[in-house]
């Protein structure tokens, strides 16, 4: 892969968008490689994924404006669908995904971070949806995920004004879970991923599905989703192992994702 570095580190993996000369901007080639990388993840062995950007200046500066500038209406819609399809694949990946946001996360960069389950960032991170200043709307899910993550009013303010916000404000409005000094960001993400990977994979994946699917329906339907996923954990090796370890008062657990 020319624009994506993918490294497995034990039970978790790190996916790095590697186009630093363009501040890791997303063009069609990057999106294609990202899509192929997500398809190739070994979900039998990888229990959590970290997504980050190469270099110290930028996570992902956005979609490639040079590529977008001459698109027709139909081509623009197709490019939006291309990005949305990849980001949706990331969002619905069975395993938890942590965005480690270093530097600029603008436009498509903010949007890809919002497709992850958890966002943490460095103290030099900058988030924003600058699209209306370019004469377009956010096109990779920004109008939808930002309103769901923070609030409709805050999302509208950020999108309508095209104003960038720094790490402390992103934390204040709930867009990110934590802010770290730049050199501590990736170690913090890896520590979190390793911690997730120690838990029962079947249960973690069921929790992700329960939360994501439950948010799309009313509470009565959501509770049924939870009940079914809760029930699905029983009679698995991991449930027997987890409860057995608790009852036997032993710290060592052998979770096998079965």
Which residues are annotated as catalytic? 111, 131
Reading across the β-sheet that carries 104-106, which strands appear in turn? 58-60, 104-106, 126-128, 165-166
Are the C-beta atoms of residues 108 and 63 closer than 8 Å to each other? Answer: yes
| Whole-number Å distance between alpha carbons of 233 and 144 | 32
Are the C-beta atoms of residues 58 and 20 closer than 8 Å to each other? Answer: yes
Closest alpha carbon to 243 in 234, 44, 198: 234
Buried residues in 200-217 as b, exposed as e (16+ CB within 10 A):
bbbbbbbbbbbeeebeee
| Whole-number Å distance between alpha carbons of 233 and 226 | 11
Are the C-beta atoms of residues 80 and 139 closer than 8 Å to each other? Answer: yes
Are the C-beta atoms of residues 159 and 166 closer than 8 Å to each other? Answer: no
Closest alpha carbon to 89 in 147, 52, 136, 140: 140
């Amino acid at each position: 892969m020319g624009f994506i570095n993918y490294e497995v580190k034990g039970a978790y993996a790190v996916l790095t968008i590697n186009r630093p000369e363009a501040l890791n901007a997303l063009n069609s080639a990057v999106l294609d490689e990202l899509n192929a990388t997500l398809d190739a993840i070994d979900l039998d062995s990888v229990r959590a994924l970290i997504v980050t950007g190469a270099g110290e200046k930028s996570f992902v500066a956005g979609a490639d404006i040079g590529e977008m500038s001459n698109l027709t209406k139909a081509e623009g819609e197709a490019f939006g669908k291309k990005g949305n399809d990849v980001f949706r694949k990331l969002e619905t990946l069975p395993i938890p995904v942590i965005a480690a946001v270093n530097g600029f996360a603008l436009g498509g960069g903010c949007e890809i971070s919002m497709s992850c389950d958890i966002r943490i960032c460095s103290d030099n991170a900058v988030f924003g949806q600058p699209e209306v200043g370019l004469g377009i709307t956010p096109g990779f899910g920004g109008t939808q995920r930002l309103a769901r993550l923070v609030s409709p009013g805050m999302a509208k303010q950020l999108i309508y004004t095209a104003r960038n916000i720094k790490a402390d404000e992103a934390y204040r409005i709930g867009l990110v879970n934590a802010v770290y000094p730049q050199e501590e960001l990736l170690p913090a993400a890896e520590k979190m991923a390793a911690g997730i990977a120690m838990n029962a994979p079947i249960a973690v994946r069921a929790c992700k599905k329960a939360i994501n699917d439950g948010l799309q329906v009313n509470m009565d339907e959501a509770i049924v989703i939870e009940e079914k996923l809760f029930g699905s954990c029983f009679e698995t090796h991991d449930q027997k192992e987890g409860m057995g370890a608790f009852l036997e008062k032993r710290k060592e657990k052998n979770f096998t994702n079965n």
